[in-house]
């Protein structure tokens, strides 16, 4: 009877050890780069990068009276980012007051619309590093703000921020952002690409 109890205890210990071992293997695989569900940068609409903009900012994002098309530095930047991500671009026009708030309602994936890096914006939303500084071109944009370093904003914790950052850095490094800046401002307003240490 005593031997049978010992064998039962040994089997239970072996089973517990096996379960713990399997959990350890799964944990190590997860740390090695396996993605957890929901950790991928999925857009709110399949195959589409939806970008929130306030389409009344001269030189940045506006509806051209001549062509009746969306134009501007931010409009073209959004197009380049969508292209790099293999997505179609859809621009969602909204009021300046609702630009960031609408991220929380999942109306679009990100905001690219001359939004500066203020303490409040940084605390409440995820964002890329700055891509442009409009301090020297305020008269062309009609923006009178102290927050002149612009970033791409996403909902807090959105994994798409990392992908947007990577593509933004590529557009800085290959000179695309500088070209867009020259086109709309006749000067370079871009913020230099970040280098990884």
- 111-159 pLDDT, tens digit per residue, is 999 999 999 999 999 999 999 999 999 888 887 788 999 999 999 999 9
Given CATH 3.40.50.720, say whether it is the number of domain 48-185.
Answer: no
Check if the beta carbon of residue 118 is closer than 8 Å to that of residue 160: no
Closest CA to 61 of 79, 77, 75: 75
Per-residue pLDDT of 62-92, as tens digits, reads: 999 999 999 999 999 999 999 999 999 999 9
Residue matched to tokens 């040994």: 10
The pLDDT > 90 percentage for the chain reads: 69
Q: Would you give the distance in Å from CA 154 to the centre of its chain?
A: 5
**Radius of gyration (C-alpha) of the chain in whole angstroms:** 24
Domain boundaries, the chain: 1-34, 48-185
């Amino acid at each position: 009877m005593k031997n049978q109890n010992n064998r039962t205890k040994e089997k239970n210990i072996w089973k517990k050890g096996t379960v713990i071992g399997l959990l350890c293997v799964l944990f190590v695989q997860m740390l090695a780069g396996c993605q957890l569900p929901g950790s991928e940068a999925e857009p709110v609409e399949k195959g589409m990068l939806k970008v929130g903009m306030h389409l009344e900012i001269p030189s940045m994002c506006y509806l051209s009276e001549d062509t009746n098309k969306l134009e501007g530095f931010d409009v073209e930047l959004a197009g380049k980012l969508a292209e790099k991500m293999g997505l179609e671009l859809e621009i969602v026009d909204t009021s300046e007051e609702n630009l960031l708030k609408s991220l929380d309602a999942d109306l679009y994936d990100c905001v690219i619309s001359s939004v500066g890096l203020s303490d409040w914006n940084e605390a409440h939303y995820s964002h890329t590093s700055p891509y442009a500084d409009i301090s020297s071109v305020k008269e062309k944009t009609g923006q009178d703000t102290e927050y002149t370093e612009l970033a791409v904003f996403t909902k807090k914790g959105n994994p798409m921020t990392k992908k947007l950052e990577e593509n933004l850095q590529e557009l800085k490094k290959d000179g695309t952002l500088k070209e867009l800046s020259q086109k709309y401002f006749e000067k370079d307003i871009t913020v230099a690409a970040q280098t990884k240490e």
